Amino acid sequence: MVNNMNTLFQANKAIIYFIIMALVLIFVGLNQSWALALGIINMSLISAIMALGVNIQWGYAGLMNVGIMGFAALGGVSVVLIAQQPVTEAVDAGGLKMFIALVMGAVTIVTGVLLNRRGVNKWLITSIVVIGYLFTRFYFSEASDLIEKVDPAITGYLGGFGLPVTFSWIIGGFAAALAAWWIGKITLGLRTDYLAIATLGISEIILYVLKNEDWFVRGLKNVYGIPRPVPYEVDMQKSEWFQSLITWIHKSEFELLSQSERIEKLSEYVREAAVVFVKLCYSGLIIAVLVAFVVLSSLALNSPWGRKVRAIRDNEVAASAMGKDIKRQHLQIFILGSAIVGVAGALLVTYDGIFVPAAYQPLRFTFLIWVMVILGGSGNNMGSILGAFIIWFIWIQSGPMGLWFVEMLGNNMQEGSASLEFIEDRVHYLRLVFMGSILLLIMRFSPGGLLPEKNKEL
Amino acid sequence: MSDSIDIINALALMTNFVILPALSYGSQLALGALAVTLVYSILRFSNFAQGDSMAFGTMLVILISGYMISKGWTITGFPTAILAIPLALIGMSIYLLTMDRLVYRHYRKIKAKQNIVGITASIGVMFVTGGIVRFILGASAQRFGDGERFIFSVREFKAFTGLEQGIAFKTSQFLTITLAILLVAFLFYFLQKTKTGKAMRAYSDNTELALLSGIDPDKVVQITWLLVALFTTIAGTLYGLDKGFAPQQYHLLLLPIFASVIVGGIGSPIGAIAGAFLVAFSEILLTYAYKKFLIYLLPLSMHPSSLVQLIGTEYKYAISFVILVIVLLIRPTGIFKGKVIDGE
């Protein structure tokens, strides 16, 4: 009997885990609020897309991407650049100069690369590149000053193209793919840790650029009011069909109330329902993207291409002896995975409605995603999604839980004692310790994760 | 300011703002890079926890020296932090050996692909360590140096030489350079002359053969961690005395340290030192504003109006990265031929 139960559990492990997760979220919805539960679900879904991208790199090919943050940030920037309205004044003031500076920079790099291929004297190339750089920098600083002077409190940047925000998701993917191509081209085929170190470096540098170049996306001043692909709560509250829908849902309750009470109650319900409705719209969009990626990647994994990929991962030497081009294959996968992370980064900024460069922390964007992939079971897409839900839930709830823990301590300590304040102030740093420990424990005791990859051995 | 060409003052200026800072920064990087190299040669993975380990060691020093100051156990004029190093070293060794016992040893025993697994595990250790440091000391920057700040100050130098441009020699710079030379000398002596050091080199070159000739692998690994503790604690403390302590800053040191290791050739101690100085000098030379230097050297009519800074200071970590990329493109083995492909 026990044995039977066990096999049943093994066969339906994924379903059981997902049902438990759903029950927990329903519990949050009933006890705390549906808006909160949906918020957790949406963030989990976006993280799941990122985890999927990382799983493709790590689980399918064993490529270490320690710069997930940077690729996500590139996706986020694309949203600003595509969806925001252009700032015409700033474009008039310094747009042309900035364009010249960027073209000069590009020409310098291309000339340098081309001359290097021709085998021209290294010193000559270096001096050409240095002179090109100095000219670029001269134009560049002048242009950025001009742009940043235009109404710095509100704009002070060039703005975007004013195109539909959904289009920016695709561009976000391409931006991340381009960066991945560049990094991959240099580091793949060398040692595995070179890729890890290079991705770590590029992600920090992307963030430095975003924080410091105010003319680009306003730097630390943040970009607010990014256009939405879904309706605004305020509009929903005003729309008649939505009001009548809410009235219809609460019909039985309203019948018992007087007219004035009914109007008051209705506006309260409408306000709450509008928040939930908007979140649901987002969920729908994100789920559509997630499902598309899951379907495409599992189709790919079960195709001859996917078998080749796994063969390379499991035994590089043998695959290479069979005539597979390993570097090319790794580059493909690295670009694909990073593009998915870029799309998720774009979704995240669209969902938040603001772009905050300072919010990109390696812990939140790189490490958490890693823990999701490894907890879920590297190589298994369903595992990554499950991992995303579990880890994001723990991450969100560990804040309140830490405070609760401090309060428990506080009951046994004197009110306002120095050590209690100290702990309250710092308790959120323990989340780093906690997440690090989860990663180490899974690696040590359950390397396959919750849902280990099937058919691991070909 | 004179309007004639003034080479001596220009050199003094360079010494004060470029050469001395780069020498001490380079020494700090070199010590960190040597720790990474040691872990790499013996345990065969790139230790991503190095930056945060340095923060951990420095934290111990800060705590111990704080206690010593409160008790009055100080030497007038001498930084108490240096006196606290021996005790901190004990704590750091215990911490690293515990981490090895809890985390890394298992993967050695099961003979996992040590590089990949080691990196992943060390990233876990990195976050645990960083979390502990931030929990205990907070995330904000702080200074912990006490004692005499300068060996000689700008004013003393000017009074002594009569030059217009002064040079200050900070105590932290003096200590950094001296301690770095001593430590590097000790490491090379240890690796070349002592029996344990030779065993370590043998283990690094050919593990199987070393095991056959009766070298105790556990002992080699333990000695390695002890050496790593020594280099890490001292590198962290010196960096903190020089530039102040901030956990995020230490975390980011990972980038220049890795750049140093790879530029020099991964696994080569001399390479790590050379790489560290290359990275340090490039970083400071490229972010230095040459305005005053050029004013000393050029006639009045050619004086620059802008700062003449090649790259903004905010991008100093980008420089390590660009160096890294150039080395990978041109000479992936590094200057001193390290290991390019994973050798299993």
- Write phi, then psi, for B170 (nearest 5 degrees): -75, 150
Tracing tokens 């502990």 back to the chain, one arrives at B132
B117 pLDDT tier (thresholds 50, 70, 90): confident
Query: Average pLDDT for residues B119-127, to the nearest whole number?
Result: 92
Q: Based on the number of CB atoms within 10 Å of its own CB, is B207 exposed (0-12), middle (13-18) or buried (19 or more)?
A: middle
Residue B103 placed within a domain = yes
pLDDT over 60 at B72, yes or no:
yes
Give the model confidence (pLDDT) of B220-238 as tens digits: 999 999 999 999 999 999 9
Give the model confidence (pLDDT) of A5-41 as tens digits: 777 777 788 888 899 999 999 998 888 888 889 999 9
Helix (H, G, I), strand (E, B) or coil at B150: strand
Task: Report residue A21 CA to chain centroid gap.
Answer: 21
Residue B90 placed within a domain = yes
The number of residues making up chain A comes to: 458
Q: Based on the number of CB atoms within 10 Å of its own CB, is B51 exposed (0-12), middle (13-18) or buried (19 or more)?
A: buried
Note whether B178 and B189 are within 8 A (CB). no
**Tokens linked to B116:** 């990949």
Helix (H, G, I), strand (E, B) or coil at B170: strand
Sorted by sequence, the CB contacts under 8 Å of residue B302 that are 6+ apart come out as: B294
Single-letter code of the amino acid located at B243: K
Give the model confidence (pLDDT) of B275-310 as tens digits: 999 999 999 998 888 888 888 888 877 777 777 777
What 3 state SS string does B58-79 have?
HHHHHHHHHHHHHHCCCCCCCC
Give the C-alpha separation, B32 to B50, whole Å: 7
Average pLDDT of every residue of chain B: 87
Sorted by sequence, the CB contacts under 8 Å of residue A329 that are 6+ apart come out as: A61, A308, A309, A312
Confidence at residue B338, expressed as pLDDT on a 0 to 100 scale: 64
A371 pLDDT tier (thresholds 50, 70, 90): very high
Find residue A208's DSSP bridge partners.
none
Find residue B196's DSSP bridge partners.
none
Residue B310 placed within a domain = yes
Is B131 in the A-facing interface, judged by CB distances under 8 Å? yes
In this prediction, what percent of chain B has a pLDDT beyond 70?
A: 96
- How many domains are contained in chain B? 1
B208: CATH:
1.10.3470
Residue B186 placed within a domain = yes
pLDDT over 60 at B1, yes or no:
no
Give the C-alpha separation, A294 to A302, whole Å: 12
Q: Is the pTM of this model over 0.80?
A: yes
Confidence at residue B341, expressed as pLDDT on a 0 to 100 scale: 46
Find residue B150's DSSP bridge partners.
B170
Q: CB distance B328–A435 less than 8 Å? A: no
CA dihedral B8, B14, B19, B22 (to 10 degrees): 180
Find residue A223's DSSP bridge partners.
A355
Is B24 in the A-facing interface, judged by CB distances under 8 Å? no
Residue B342 placed within a domain = no
Give the model confidence (pLDDT) of A276-331 as tens digits: 899 999 999 999 999 999 999 888 888 898 888 888 888 888 888 888 888 888 99
Give the C-alpha separation, B39 to B50, whole Å: 10
Give the C-alpha separation, B125 to B222, whole Å: 18
Give the C-alpha separation, A263 to A277, whole Å: 20
Average pLDDT of every residue of chain A: 86
Q: CB distance B115–A435 less than 8 Å? A: no
Chain B residues with CB under 8 Å of A370 CB are 120, 123
Query: Average pLDDT for residues A255-261, to the nearest whole number?
Result: 79
Confidence at residue B301, expressed as pLDDT on a 0 to 100 scale: 77
Residue B1 placed within a domain = no
**Tokens linked to B69:** 């100051």
Query: Average pLDDT for residues A326-355, to the nearest whole number?
Result: 93
pLDDT over 50 at B129, yes or no:
yes
Lowest mean pLDDT segment, chosen from A234-238, B47-51, B304-308: B304-308
Q: CB distance A186–B328 less than 8 Å? A: yes
A458 pLDDT tier (thresholds 50, 70, 90): very low
Domain that holds residue B284: 7-330
- Write phi, then psi, for B49 (nearest 5 degrees): -85, 0
Confidence at residue A326, expressed as pLDDT on a 0 to 100 scale: 86
Which residues of A sit within 8 Å Cβ distance of B? 62, 64, 66, 137, 186-187, 190-194, 196-198, 200-202, 204-205, 208, 211-212, 362-363, 367, 370, 374, 425-427, 429-437, 439-440, 443-444
pLDDT over 80 at B5, yes or no:
no
Q: Which residue of B has its CA nearest to A142?
A: B306
Confidence at residue A427, expressed as pLDDT on a 0 to 100 scale: 81
Q: Residue A221: how many CA atoms within 13 Å on its side-chain side?
A: 14
Kind and range of the H or E run holding A417: none
Confidence at residue B133, expressed as pLDDT on a 0 to 100 scale: 94
Of A194, A208, A435, the CB nearest to B314: A208
**Tokens linked to B72:** 């009055």
Region class of B267: left (phi > 0), else alpha (psi between -120 and 50), else beta: left
A349 pLDDT tier (thresholds 50, 70, 90): very high
Residue B22 placed within a domain = yes
Query: Average pLDDT for residues B31-44, to the nearest whole number?
Result: 92
Kind and range of the H or E run holding B159: helix B154-161
Of A66, A198, A425, the CB nearest to B324: A198
Q: Which residue of B has its CA nearest to A436?
A: B124
Higher pLDDT, A339 or A325: A339
Interface test with B, best of A137, A419, A432 (most B CBs within 10 A): A432
Give the model confidence (pLDDT) of B312-329 as tens digits: 788 888 888 888 888 888
- Write phi, then psi, for A224 (nearest 5 degrees): -105, 165
Kind and range of the H or E run holding B163: none
Of A194, A430, A444, the CB nearest to B131: A430
Tracing tokens 């994973």 back to the chain, one arrives at B342
Kind and range of the H or E run holding B152: strand B150-152
Instruction: Enter the DSSP assignment of B151.
Output: E
Confidence at residue A246, expressed as pLDDT on a 0 to 100 scale: 82
Region class of A172: left (phi > 0), else alpha (psi between -120 and 50), else beta: alpha
Give the C-alpha separation, A290 to A296, whole Å: 10
In this prediction, what percent of chain A has a pLDDT beyond 90?
A: 29
Residue B177 placed within a domain = yes
Give the C-alpha separation, B115 to B106, whole Å: 14
Note whether B186 and B207 are within 8 A (CB). no
CB neighbours of residue A189 within 10 Å: 17
Confidence at residue A417, expressed as pLDDT on a 0 to 100 scale: 62
Give the model confidence (pLDDT) of B133-175 as tens digits: 999 988 888 888 777 778 888 888 888 887 888 888 888 899 9
Indicate if ipTM > 0.95: no
